[in-house]
Amino acid sequence: MPCTKCEEGKYKWGKTGECEYDSLDACESANHKYNKMRPTPLGKTYEEYAKELKEYNFSTVYKVDLASLKDVEKIMRDVGQKSSIVESILNALDGELLERRVLREDAEEQLQNAEDYKSNIKGSQEEVELAKGRLEKAKDELKDDQDGYKEENDKFKKLDKKVKDKEKLVKARQKQYISESKAVGKEVAKLKKAYADLQKAGKALGIAKIPVEMYNEYLADGEEWGTGTLPSGFDD
């Protein structure tokens, strides 16, 4: 049960002690008699552990602590899952970018059609003034142009709204991709550290080589999808 620092700057012994010591040394000195009673990582007091060490036969076979290996396996699964999420997001984004591009082209075409009709309106109006004999025909043409302009302009407005809606979805999808990709990058960093710790533990226990095939596979996936940036062509 170690000394811990209180909010006001003083120290206390354990979780329930009073904040009465001015420094860490003062706290530990006052409670040194409890130090030998602290449990070791094996769940024994230090006195019991010291006694057992003297009696322990170091010629017995070492047992590898599998906790680090389990951490690596869990992180590899996390990397795989998050990489799959990022890949599916990118696939969805690819389709949406294509749909947006098609919508933009259709909208531009409809806008041009509407502008064409709009320019025809002015010509038709001038023709009415200049050719009274063709007044009725010109009026019909004017009405056709007006109706055509309204129809095409209405189509453009609808398509333009779809373009803007798709633009919002694309931006949200890009933001989601970047966020999930960064999460993959963090898991990759954890995987590298956990595997390094595992190698270090294996070396200390006399294990010459830790298998790397599965580790490399998950590491490659994580580094591919964990860049935290959109691939070229998906950042438009």
User: What count of Cα atoms within 13 Å lies in the side-chain half-sphere of residue 104?
Assistant: 9
Whole-angstrom Cα Rg for the chain: 37
Tokens at residue 165, please?
């809606």
**pLDDT tens, residue by residue, 56-84:** 544 444 444 556 777 887 888 888 888 88
201, 59 contact by CB (below 8 A): no
CA distance 199 to 220: 19
63, 165 contact by CB (below 8 A): no
226 contact partners, CB below 8 Å, separation of at least 6: 79, 82, 83, 86, 181, 182, 183, 184, 185, 186, 187, 188
- Ranges in the chain, pLDDT < 50: 38-42, 46, 49, 57-64
Tokens at residue 206, please?
């006399």
**For the whole prediction, is pTM greater than 0.85?**
no
Q: For position 125, what pLDDT does the model report? A: 76
225, 86 contact by CB (below 8 A): yes
Q: Which domains does the chain have, with CATH numbers?
A: 3-55 (no CATH), 67-225 (1.10.287)
Q: For position 107, what pLDDT does the model report? A: 92
170 contact partners, CB below 8 Å, separation of at least 6: 93, 96, 97, 100
Q: For position 208, what pLDDT does the model report? A: 64
- The H or E element spanning position 107 is helix 67-130
Question: Which amino acid makes up residue 31?
Answer: N
Q: Which residues pair with 39 in a beta bridge?
A: 45
User: What count of Cα atoms within 13 Å lies in the side-chain half-sphere of residue 42?
Assistant: 9
CB under 8 Å, gap of 24 or more: what pairs does 34-38 form? Answer: 34/1, 38/1, 38/2
CA distance 4 to 15: 8
